[in-house]
Structure 1
Amino acid sequence: MYPWIDAFRCNGCKACAKACPPDIIGFHKGKAAIVFDFCQQCGECFEACPVEGAILFKLPPGSHETENIPFISRY
Structure 2
Amino acid sequence: MKNINEIVIGKPVKISRVLIGAAAIVILSLFVTGFSYLPWWVFIIVLTLEFLLLYRHISILIGGLIRKK
Pick the structure with more helix per residue. Answer: 2
Which protein shows a greater Rg? Answer: 2
TM over 0.5: no
Q: Which has the higher contact order (CA 8 A, sep 6+)?
A: 2
Return the TM-score normalized by structure 1. Answer: 0.26
Instruction: Compute the TM-score of the two structures, normalised by the length of structure 2.
Output: 0.27
Structure with bigger strand share is 1
